[in-house]
Structures are given as structure tokens and as C-alpha cells.
Chain A
């Protein structure tokens, strides 16, 4: 896919202290750097998402490092307990330095 597009699914509302499930998916080739171009025999340069971070009101809620063995279009799901309403910010960092981000509001009662 030519276009890299992050997508997230969060519950709009949550109960304080209860675990909620956050789902994320980003369209990305996750080129491992170990494949060769069939025509030229040259290595295809590595281009992967190497870091994923989710912050909630500025605090890190979840983060992970991604490695070349992870498939294209990585799907990441995690659970989190929230105490108050706020904004969850998601950031995917690409090998080329680009950062793809998206923000979602969550109402906590």
C-alpha cells in the first residue's frame, strides 16, 4: 500500500478503574531489509515501524519496540485502566524518522 494510515479503536466511554481494550492497526509494508529485489539482486532497504507509544494525558500508557520479523500492517492490542477522562495519543515511529500519530478522547465516569 502506498499510503501509510494509522487506525485505532477505543471505547468512547469507560468506567474508572476498569480495564478497557485499545486496538490499533497501521498500514505499513514493514520491509525487513533482508529481501532482495528480484530483478536487480540488490537488497531492499529496511523500512519498518520501530517504535510504538501510547500516552494518556501525557503519561506513557503502553510502548513497544518493533523488530523486522513483525508482519506488514502491524496490529497491536493492549488493555489499560483509566482513572479520569482524557486524550490518548498514539505514535508510530518509522525507520525514516517519520512519526504517524492519532489522538482519541475517552470519557471516564
Chain B
């Protein structure tokens, strides 16, 4: 052993103890690429400034996202890359057969989600797009919203837009959805009689018991959440919030959650897409 001395310094990421020790000045840089996690809000925004959820996490959790090797969400993105090239369904086609290199064809998609789908004449989330393409082009069974495959694919497609500013369209046919989402955001629900705004607009930065409340920005979804020990969709997060205020959650993929997703995306216009991000 004299040739080689091992230090007994093993860092095992096992416990994420909810301490609000976020470094206010920290900036997110991944492999030299700088991310916008804080920006001045436009005049019509209800928020004084726009802050990514990354800024509300403690420094240990923040650091995990600065290194793609340490970020466990990248496991899912890699799995998504495998699925991208896997032939599926009756047509025996893979995503790559039509869309080619995801880094070109999927670039920017996540940043514009949710967005209007002309063919189906409705508002589509990224999940809706994937399942529509599976059914329409691959003649394959749609994936379940919260399946490992769907999470891996949304992580992989989202990764292609990482660093790009969130830019959703809220006008035209999407306008009624935007209004619906806004209404949901400010409507009190559940036994605790709370709306999204009570925590995420009026009290972000404060502690709610052991949790550090963020603005509820959605620029990092799907996320790897340490509490979940895995990846989760945005609509799973919505469901968790509604459970917490003892409301009956809407279904994943429901019109309500899709409308809320559009409204929330609009509140974070300009933040960098962080998909796949890491949260506690």
C-alpha cells in the first residue's frame, strides 16, 4: 500500500437535508456554459425579478447540477438518447429515422413548450408531442405520462434546448389557455384554501416548514428530485403541490395542468432552460 494511499473521503449523495443555505450570489455554469437564473421582470410581470428554482437550493444541491457527470438526471437523458435510436411500433421506425440528429431537429423545442398543435387543434405539452408522434408515425402505443421512457425522452429532448431562453407564445389560439392557466394560478383550492400565488408569488424565499419556497419556475423540468430518488414530470410536481394543500389534484396531462404549464412558462420567459435539472 505504500505506492498508493487512498484517502477515506467518500462523498455519498444520500441525504438532502432541507437547510436553506442557498448562496444568493452563486451563478449556474455547466461545462463553461453560463445560464440565466435571474433576470429583471418585464413591467407586466407580477414578480419584481424572475428567479430559477436553482437559486433556492442549497449549495450542495446546486453544485450537483454544474457537472453533468454528477447530475443523476443525465442518466435519464442518456437513456432517452438510446430510445431515440430504437425502432418502435408497427412501422419499425425510430425517432431518429425521421428526425435525424436530435441536437439539430429538437433544438429549441423545449423552450417553446407548451405550444399550439395545428393538427390536433389543441395545446400540446412535450409529452403530448411525443405520444402523438408515437401513435401517428410509429404506430406505437403511447407512453404513460410518468413512465421511465417518457421521462427519459422528455429529458433528452429538453437537453437539446438547454441554455436557450424560455420563449412561449401566449397569444392567438393559445390565449384562452393562458387565461385559464392564470385563473387556476390565483384560485384558492383544497382544504387549506390556498392558491399557487400564496406560496410562489407572495412568499417565495420564505420557509414553509423545512422547504425553501421558490417562485415555482418550470424551466428545469423534467427534474431529478432527490426526494423522489428519480426523475419526475412537471405535472407530478403540480400534483404534489395540490396534495400538500389538500386539494383534489387534476390528472397529469389534463387541460387544467396544460393551461397552468403555459401560464407558468410565461412567468419565466427569458430564463435558461435547465432541463434536465436537479432539485431536492
Q: Residues of A at under 8 Å CB distance from B?
A: 1-3, 5, 7, 9, 19, 23, 25, 27, 30, 56, 59-62, 64, 66, 69-84
Contacts and interface: CB of A to CB of B under 8 A. Distances in A.
Contact of A78 (B6, B13, B70, B230): B6
A35 to B, nearest CB: 11
Interface stretch (B72-80, B129-137, B159-167, B235-243): B72-80
Nearest to A8: B69
Nearest to B69: A9
B229 interface: yes
A1 B75 contact: yes
Given A73-B72, A78-B6, A83-B4, 15 more contacts: A1-B75, A3-B79, A7-B69, A23-B69, A25-B69, A25-B75, A59-B1, A70-B12, A72-B72, A73-B229, A75-B11, A77-B10, A79-B7, A80-B5, A80-B6
A25 B229 contact: no
Contact of B4 (A7, A56, A75, A77): A56
Nearest to B72: A73
Contacts of B229: 30, 71-73
A71 B226 contact: yes
Contacts of B8: 62, 78
A58 to B, nearest CB: 11
A77 B3 contact: no
Given A25-B70, A30-B229, A75-B70, A69 B5 contact: no
A75 B79 contact: no
B4 A64 contact: no
Nearest to B151: A1
20 contacts: A5-B78, A19-B7, A27-B72, A30-B229, A56-B4, A59-B4, A61-B6, A71-B15, A72-B72, A73-B229, A74-B12, A74-B14, A75-B11, A75-B12, A76-B12, A78-B6, A79-B7, A80-B5, A80-B6, A84-B3
Contacts of A56: 4
Contacts of A59: 1, 3-4
B98 interface: no
Contacts of B14: 69-71, 74
A70 B243 CA distance: 27
A62 B70 contact: no
Given A23-B69, A27-B75, A71 B4 contact: no
Contacts of A64: 10
A107 to B, nearest CB: 15
Contacts of B210: none
Given A72-B229, A74-B13, A61 B148 contact: no
Given A9-B69, A25-B70, A76 B4 contact: no
A47 B11 CA distance: 22
A82 to B, nearest CB: 6
A60 to B, nearest CB: 8
A64 B3 CA distance: 20
A101 B10 CA distance: 19
Interface in B136-159: 148
Interface in B191-230: 226, 229-230
Contacts of A82: 3-4
B9 interface: yes
Contacts of B9: 77-79
